[in-house]
A = this chain, B = another copy of it.
Amino acid sequence: MTAQNSSAEELARAEAVCADRGLALTPVRRRVLELLLEANAPVKAYDLLAALKPGGGAQPPTVYRALDFLTAAGLAHRVEALNAYTACVHAHETGGAELYICESCGGVAETHVHGACHEAPEGFKVARSVIEHYGKCGDCRKAG
């Protein structure tokens, strides 16, 4: 996929978002977000865990708690069909994220969910949508 903002910029934006909302972007959480931003593909929890403390000190709950915080804060998304996580680069205020994931390069693009075009059954009230599209991005298709 094409050049997104630098991790540093995104990290600064996250700082600002947390400050605004009285959320604590602690060192672990910040570091996990940094790892997500540096990766150019969704990252697995145990890979984050390994990257967090090369010495092997960190335990699963550490990274899962950080991920819970980041996803709750809208700074990251869980990719359900991959059991993986990706930094949010879209700042969706309203509605959820809709992800386009390239199966060749792992790149993730985001849009907002268009509530309108999903025809819910009579009376069904949607609270939350999981929308993930898998395929091949433009760059990878050109590259063959």
A129-B133, A134-B130 known; A117 and B120 CB under 8 Å?
Answer: no
Those of A75-111 within 8 Å (CB) of chain B: 80-81, 98, 100, 102-103, 109, 111
* A11→B134 CA distance, assembly (Å): 31
Contact of A114 among B117, B127, B130, B138 (CB under 8 A): B117
Interface size on A, residues (CB 8 A): 36
Copies in the complex: 2
**Contact at B130–A136, with CB atoms within 8 Å?**
no
Contact pattern, A 102-142, Cβ under 8 Å of B = 1, otherwise 0:
11000001010010111111111111111111111111011
**Within the complex, what minimum Cβ distance (angstroms) separates A123 from chain B?**
2
**Contact at B134–A121, with CB atoms within 8 Å?**
no
Top 9 closest pairs, chain A to chain B, by CB: A123-B138, A117-B117, A127-B135, A80-B80, A126-B135, A130-B132, A109-B121, A80-B81, A126-B133
